[in-house]
A and B are shown apart, each in its own frame.
Chain A
Amino acid sequence: MSDKISTGKITTKKLRIGWFTFSCCEDSTVLFTELLNDHWQEWKKLLDIRYARVLQSKNVLDELDVAFVEGALASPEHVEKIKEIRRKSKKIVAIGACAVMGLPSAQRNKFDPERLEEIEHILSRFSYMDHVQKLSDVITVDAQVPGCPMDEKKFLQVLNQMLKEFNIVTE
């Protein structure tokens, strides 16, 4: 891929990021790992990955510059966790259709009474919320990368913009 991120001068500071996943199919996580094919050397220099379950075991949720969040919110624990992420992150980027608009994870919100009855025992046993929510139903979202899976070009644009905003790369 030709659209490399670091067009300008690189400083020694790294962007502190987290990659979080709620209810979804993790398609954007997979795309993120495919983007690594072309960008891993560059991102090793630019990104301090504090939290990413797909990449590492030692994950910390402390002060983040940017949290990338994929998936919709399906349980009270999800809501608590996203609020914690919000408190600890300067910017939150919603990644992919489920985070941005709730769907398809939120398809049960529109189920008819027959289907709701079928799934009710699961919802109650595992403390699901009555309605699946998109991120902006619960927190303020600073940027979005829509798509199912996420639009790769848009993701690179947003990441590039964050790198500039936090003075990790300068023009």
Chain B
Amino acid sequence: MHQVDLTLNKELTKVEGSAVLDIKITKGKIEHCRFGITEYKRFYTQAMRGKPYKTLPALLARICGTCSNAHLLCSIEACEHALGIKPSQQTQLMKKLTMYGLNIRDHALHLYLFVMPDMYGKDSFLSLDENDPEQHQILHDAFEIKAAGNYLSIIIAGRSVHAVNPAIGGWLKIPTAEEIKQAIKKLTAARSAVLRTVERFANCKFSFDRQTHFMALVANPFSYLEGKIISDKGDSIEEADFHNHLQHKVIPYSQASGYTFSGETYMVGALARINLAKDSLHTKTKASLTEVLKRFPSTNIFDNNLAQAIEILHCLDHSVEILENYSFNQEQPVPPTQIEGVGIGVIEAPRGTLYHKVIIDKQGVVTEGEIVVPTGQNQINIEQDMARLVEELLPTNPSADELQQELEKLIRAYDPCMSCASHFLKLNIDAT
């Protein structure tokens, strides 16, 4: 048995936000193995109190750059539920398209800029070799897919980051006929690049088996916005009850906090969604991916990457169908039916289930709110998996660099977002 002494305390790269791996091994024994979120809190949960509710969604979008449009829509939904607003069918479609644009560009960012370098032994995606035909194709596919998703976000939501068109009760601007035509063209053209993406991640040999529970907001047809929260254990929960099943766990050395569900750790995100709802994907997506979909439900954490690639195809196929068949008309936002209330919004953000709660008083002022983000829910799993991976690797006498690289690969598979996760620390000062 090797008697390794090793200390790692290094910033993670190619992830969203700031985190460290903090590992100490003495004489071949793990003293600690931590995934610490080092992002500084910006205190949105405190800042939201006292704000007029109409300003809330745009404020909370600033929690996170990459999933800003998910926070925006979730906060809008919470406000709509608080004030008894039922948006029109067209608004619901616009929300769907916003989530599709977001997932296409955000998943592609993760898969190509963060994960792909690991698969090719490169430090950076941009250092893939343009003169190698296969790598050349990968470079072009990545930016074509990202650009199509980015364009869809812009024409529907106004911007791909901190969107300006979505409003409480409705939508401020609809896309022009020419924009819709362009979006259909770009998305359709990117479809073969997406199919190649699925194939690349289906062929990826990375593997880490993880028996855990999976949870997602699920509907049929597949949706990021509607449905019930279900789990592999057979739970089926209404959005409004979700929080009653969560237990908040303080992680003293991290600036974020973790959650368990009915006392057990669980995973949210693309893998959970595909594991639980692959049958409800778009017909065209299912027809193209018959073989690949047989792999799910999967307990290989790296299949989260494949699940993201599959979701890109669903988002693309359904977006094209909506854009080709629906004619958009300018509408007035639906007004509130009550002046005060408590509202809960739950949506599937790219990284998993996102929960916003808001309390609005008679003056239209936010008195309280709460937010639960996907990375907070995955954090305990991530740490447990890290410890197991270190145990598995120790007999091979790894160098610090090798250990860092293997752990980063695994953490990236979860696609954590530290900008989001840092906001929900409830620290017990007595904890050590």
**Those 8 A-B pairs whose CB atoms lie nearest each other, nearest first:** A27-B65, A56-B124, A37-B147, A74-B40, A26-B65, A25-B65, A57-B13, A23-B40
Query: In the complex, what distance in Å separates the CA atom of A59 from the CA atom of B63?
Result: 26
Given contacts A27-B162, A36-B143, contact A108 B43 (CB under 8 A): yes
A40 engages B143 (CB within 8 Å): yes
Distance to closest chain A CB from B274 (angstroms): 24
Residue of A nearest to B429 (CB): A121
Please name the residue on chain B nearest to A36 by beta carbon. Answer: B143
Residue B172 lies at the interface, judged by CB distance under 8 Å to chain A? no
A58 to B126, CA, bound (A): 13
- Please tell me if the beta carbons of A30 and B147 are within 8 angstroms of each other in the complex: no
B65:A28 contact, CB within 8 angstroms: yes
Contacts of A138 in B (CB 8 A): none
Closest Cβ of chain A: how far from B48's Cβ, in Å? 10
B65 touching A40, Cβ below 8 Å: no
Q: Is the CB of A57 within 8 A of B126?
A: no
Q: Are A56 and B62 in contact (CB under 8 A)?
A: no
Segment among A10-18, A85-93, A111-119, A159-167 that sits at the interface with chain B: A111-119
Residues of A within 8 A of B150 (CB): 34, 37
Chain A residues within CB distance 8 Å of chain B:
21, 23-31, 33-34, 36-38, 40-41, 44, 49, 53-59, 74-75, 78, 104-105, 107-108, 111, 115, 118-119, 121-122, 125-126, 128, 148-149
Bound complex: CA A53 to CA B11 (Å): 9
Q: In the complex, which residue of chain B has the Cβ closest to the Cβ of A29?
A: B65
Question: Interface-forming stretch among B14-22, B240-248, B316-324?
Answer: B14-22
Contact A26 B160 (CB under 8 A): no
**Which residue in B14, B105, B130, B139 is a CB contact (below 8 Å) of A34?**
B105
Most A Cβ at <10 Å: residue of B42, B59, B160:
B42
9 pairs of residues in contact across A and B, judged by CB atoms under 8 Å: A23-B42, A24-B42, A25-B419, A27-B66, A37-B150, A41-B130, A56-B123, A104-B42, A149-B162
CA distance A139 to B429 in the complex (A): 34
- Identify the interface centre among A21, A25, A30, A37: most chain B CB within 10 Å of its CB: A25
Q: How far is the CA of A58 from the CA of B125 in the complex (A)?
A: 12
- Shortest C-beta distance, A126 to chain B (Å), equals 6
Whether the pair A122, B41 counts as a contact (CB closer than 8 A) is: yes
- The complex places the Cα of A28 from the Cα of B113 at a distance, in Å, of 16
A contact residues around B46 at 8 Å (CB): 108, 111, 115, 118-119
Please, which residue of chain A has its CB at the minimum distance from the CB of B58? A148
CA distance A69 to B21 in the complex (A): 24
| Interchain CB contact under 8 A, A40 and B139 | yes
Which residues B110-141 have CB closer than 8 A to chain A? 113, 117, 123-127, 130, 139
